[in-house]
Structure 1
Amino acid sequence: MPIAPITGKLRKTLITDIAIAFGLGIGGGYAYWYGIHVPVDQKRENFYAKLAREKQQKQCMINNNVSMQESIMSKNDTNTISQK
């Protein structure tokens, strides 16, 4: 009894290897993207948003102080004029 030739084994193995490689590659890509990249990116965005908020608050405080000083100076000017 002769052994039947094995046909199509190379093609089946090649297709299986390619399918596994694509599956693992896509799975690894998703794991990296959503497990590492997105959280780091969100952390960076939160940092810069906080920095912008603090800068804006500081600028508002400076503007308020300048306007308060201007109003005080204008009151002093009117008092000086009225005293003369």
Structure 2
Amino acid sequence: MAIKPITGMLRNRLIVNLSVALGVGVVFGELFWRGYHLPRTVARDNYYKALEEKRAERAGV
């Protein structure tokens, strides 16, 4: 037998691919959440808070 049989390569490759995919997914998910979602949510909440304060001011409450 001149060439060694390839054993376990598929399993190792699968584990590496899944680990990398999950790691990259988590990193980019976190970047999206903290870099885009949270700032936009805070900006939206501040806008509606200011709008509500103006409305309450006009109503005399």
Secondary structure (helix, strand or coil) at the match of 1:18 reads helix
The CA RMSD over aligned residues, in Å, is: 1.6
Kindly provide the CA deviation profile for residues 32-74 of structure 1, in whole angstroms up to 9, marking residues without a partner as x: 11111111111000000001111111111xx7xxxxxxxxxxx
* Corresponding residue number in structure 2 for 1:66: none
Q: Distance in 1 between matches of 2:46 and 2:28?
A: 26
TM-score normalised according to structure 1 size: 0.66
Where in structure 1 do 4 or more consecutive aligned residues deviate above 6 Å?
none
TM-score normalised according to structure 2 size: 0.88
Structure 2 alignment gaps of length 5 or more = none
* Corresponding residue number in structure 1 for 2:6: 6
> What is the one-letter code of the residue matched to 1:11?
R
Structure-to-structure mapping, 1:19-38, within 5 angstroms: 19-38=19-38
Q: Distance in 2 between matches of 1:14 and 1:51?
A: 53
Does residue 56 of structure 2 align to residue 56 of structure 1?
A: yes
The number of residues matched between the two structures is: 61
Structure 1 alignment gaps of length 5 or more = 64-84
- Counting aligned pairs with the same residue, the percent is 36
Deviation of residue 2 (structure 1)? 2.2
